[in-house]
Structures are given as structure tokens and as C-alpha cells.
């Protein structure tokens, strides 16, 4: 496996813009845990949700995240763009990671785009789910996102000696190094099995 040399691929000439593309892995935890806690608190204090509802919404939110993770990774991050702008978008969001998968400062989403994307997702959820459930679903969805972020970070930087950890690490590294359009699940291979993308054709853009 190619090791990170200590030099990151530069994206912007402007040093301020460039600094925003580098994120310490603790940042998502610091950003999202207070928001998650607030939304769960509202589920209890404002909407008086029962324990059964909390548990059901937990599983629903986590499964919803794994689905979103799969869809984004397969169709957005690996979009076969034709235009220059499209190719640049794919490079910024994901191609950069494939070019230097071991860069520890570019394995989690920067706060500004994370907040913008999550706001759009929350707005979508308000159109789909009942008002008394939407905030708790969003909270657990973000728990799923945090699980993804830290599993992804661990697959690139830790040995992951547990049986599940070894499986997830091998599965994700095969996504990087097999040269196939496959294995888009990071926190779970569930949707790869459902959509039959555990293996795939050779990716000429990989």
C-alpha cells in the first residue's frame, strides 16, 4: 500500500482556502455530537417519544445513512463526469482521496460543506418524515455518518484487529486497489450485496 509521504496534494493556490481543505479527524466529533445531543433531547422533551420509538428510529436512521453513503459514493463521488467542471467537482470531493488515500487530513468532511449538505438533507427529511420524528431520525442519521467517518479513517490508519474491523478494512482497501467499480459501502457492505456491486468491471478512471 502506498504510504503518505507527509506532503498533501495542493488544491488551491490561496493559503486560506487551502487550509480549509485540511481537517483534523476530531473535528466531526466536536461539531456533530452537540447537535446530535440537542436533537435527541428535543425528541424526548418536546415530542415525548417513547423508548420504543427511539430504538426504532435508531435502526431506521442508521440504515438510512448506509443507503445514503452507498448512493453518494457510487453515483456522486464516482460520477463519470465528462465536462471540466464535473471532473473538478469529482476530484475535489473524492478523486483527491483516491490519488492520496493515506492523507490523514483529508479523510473527513470539512465543516462548511458538511453543514451545508446536512442542512439540505434535513430539509429533505422534513418533506418525507412526520414532524415529531424528523429531528431524531436526523440525529441517528448523523450518528451513522460519524460511524462512517471513523471507520473510514481507521481503515486507512489503524490495523483494526477485530474480526469485523479486519473485514471492513480489507473490503474498503479493495475498493481502492482492486481497480474495479465495486465495494462502495464503507461502514457496511449491505447495499453492495443488495445492488450486486461487491465485484465489478475494471474502472479505467480508478
Q: What is the mean pLDDT of residues 31-42?
A: 98
Q: What is the pLDDT of residues 118-156, one digit of tens each?
A: 999 999 999 999 999 999 999 999 999 999 999 988 998
Q: Say what the pLDDT of residue 3 is.
A: 47
- The pLDDT score that the predictor gives to residue 121 is 96
Between these two residues, 22 and 44, which has the higher pLDDT value?
44
Distance, in Å, from the CA atom of 99 to the CA atom of 106, rounded to the nearest integer, reads 11
pLDDT average, residue stretch 89-101? 66
- When pLDDT is cut at 50, 70 and 90, the band that residue 1 belongs to is very low
Mean pLDDT computed over every residue of the chain: 87
Tell me the three cell numbers of residue 81: 463526469
Residue 105 has pLDDT above 80, yes or no: no
Q: Enumerate the H helices of 72-195 as residue ranges.
A: 84-90, 96-99, 111-128, 131-157, 163-177, 190-194
Tell me the average pLDDT across 79-104. 72
pLDDT at 180: 86
Average pLDDT over residues 19-44: 90
Q: Residue 33, CB half-sphere, CA atoms under 13 Å: how many?
A: 6
Distance CA 109, CA 206 (A): 21
Residues 6 or more apart in contact with residue 104 via CB below 8 angstroms: 4, 25, 153, 156, 157
Q: What is the pLDDT of residue 6?
A: 57
Check if the beta carbon of residue 117 is closer than 8 Å to that of residue 77.
no
Q: Given this model, what pLDDT does residue 203 score?
A: 75
Amino acid at each position: 500500500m502506498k504510504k503518505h509521504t507527509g506532503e498533501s496534494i495542493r488544491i488551491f493556490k490561496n493559503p486560506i482556502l487551502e487550509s480549509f481543505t485540511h481537517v483534523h479527524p476530531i473535528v466531526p466529533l466536536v461539531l456533530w455530537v452537540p447537535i446530535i445531543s440537542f436533537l435527541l433531547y428535543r425528541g424526548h422533551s418536546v415530542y415525548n417519544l417513547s423508548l420504543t420509538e427511539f430504538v426504532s428510529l435508531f435502526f431506521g436512521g442508521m440504515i438510512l445513512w448506509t443507503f445514503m453513503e452507498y448512493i453518494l459514493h457510487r453515483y456522486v463521488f464516482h460520477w463519470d463526469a465528462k465536462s471540466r467542471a464535473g471532473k473538478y467537482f469529482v476530484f475535489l470531493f473524492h478523486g483527491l482521496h483516491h490519488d492520496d488515500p493515506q492523507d490523514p487530513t483529508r479523510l473527513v468532511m470539512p465543516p462548511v460543506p458538511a453543514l451545508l449538505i446536512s442542512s439540505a438533507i434535513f430539509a429533505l427529511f422534513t418533506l418525507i418524515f412526520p414532524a415529531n420524528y424528523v429531528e431524531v431520525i436526523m440525529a441517528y442519521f448523523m450518528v451513522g455518518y460519524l460511524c462512517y467517518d471513523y471507520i473510514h479513517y481507521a481503515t486507512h490508519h489503524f490495523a483494526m484487529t477485530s474480526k469485523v474491523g479486519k473485514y471492513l478494512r480489507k473490503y474498503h482497501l479493495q475498493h481502492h486497489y482492486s481497480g474495479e467499480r465495486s465495494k462502495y459501502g464503507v461502514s457496511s457492505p449491505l447495499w453492495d450485496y443488495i445492488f450486486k456491486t461487491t465485484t465489478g468491471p475494471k474502472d479505467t478512471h480508478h
